[in-house]
């Protein structure tokens, strides 16, 4: 899942932006980086599977996804809900997590404007990824 270089990052995306798939290309072209993009269709089911299988001593799906990811590789979560909603992913493998998401409600506008307002547009996500890569 993670490339051989040290400029690797993992994204967990929930419903937000299929257009963010271009992040991988941008990171590769500008920083020699590598991004894995994982689409989460149900954050609660992913978390419940992790919690339930830990009790049964079996391997949860999210652990199998992250088993070959070194703990120094940062995770960025992108969600159209609170940024802390997927923060538990850091405890799966000891990775640092940067959560991006919506911190308040009541805004109106078209999707690109709302994404920019909450810093979950493609440019903001790219900048967050670069910041996390510099820390690793």
DSSP secondary structure of the chain: ---SSS-EEEEEEESS-GGGGGHHHHHHHHHS-EEEEEE-S-HHHHHHHHHHHHHTT---HHHHHHTTS-TTS-EEEEESS-GGGGGGGHHHHT--EEEE--------S-HHHHHHHTT-SHHHHHHHHHHHHHH-
Higher pLDDT pick, 9 / 75: 75
Domain ranges, residue 28: 8-135
Q: Is residue 86 part of a domain?
A: yes
Is the per-residue pLDDT at 132 higher than 70?
yes
Write the CATH number for 62.
Answer: 3.40.50.920
pLDDT of amino acid 20: 61
Q: Is residue 2 part of a domain?
A: no
The count of structural domains within the chain is 1
Its sign, for the CA torsion 134, 130, 99, 54, is negative
Strand order in the sheet with 97-100: 34-39, 8-14, 75-79, 97-100
The model's pLDDT over 32-41, given as tens digits with 9 standing for 90+, comes to: 677 888 889 8
Q: What's the token pair of residue 120?
A: 């979950």
- What is the percentage of the chain residues whose pLDDT exceeds 70? 85
Rounded Cα–Cα distance for residues 121 and 127 (Å): 10
If you average pLDDT over residues 21-29, what whole number do you get? 68
The model's pLDDT over 45-90, given as tens digits with 9 standing for 90+, comes to: 999 999 998 888 888 999 999 999 999 999 999 988 899 999 999 9
Q: Is residue 3 part of a domain?
A: no
Query: Binning pLDDT at 50, 70 and 90, where does residue 6 land?
Result: low
């Amino acid at each position: 899942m993670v490339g051989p270089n040290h400029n690797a990052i993992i994204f967990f995306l929930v419903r937000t932006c299929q257009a963010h798939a271009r992040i991988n290309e941008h990171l590769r072209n500008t920083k020699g980086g590598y991004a894995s993009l994982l689409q989460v269709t149900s954050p609660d089911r992913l978390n419940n599977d992790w919690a339930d299988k830990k009790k049964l001593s079996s391997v949860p799906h999210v652990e199998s996804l992250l088993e070959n990811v070194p703990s120094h590789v940062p995770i960025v979560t992108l969600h159209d809900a609170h940024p802390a909603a997927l923060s538990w992913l850091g405890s799966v493998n000891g990775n640092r997590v940067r959560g991006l998401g919506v911190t308040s409600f009541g805004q109106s506008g078209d999707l690109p404007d709302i994404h920019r307002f909450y810093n979950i547009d493609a440019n903001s996500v790219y900048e967050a990824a670069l910041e996390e890569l510099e820390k690793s």
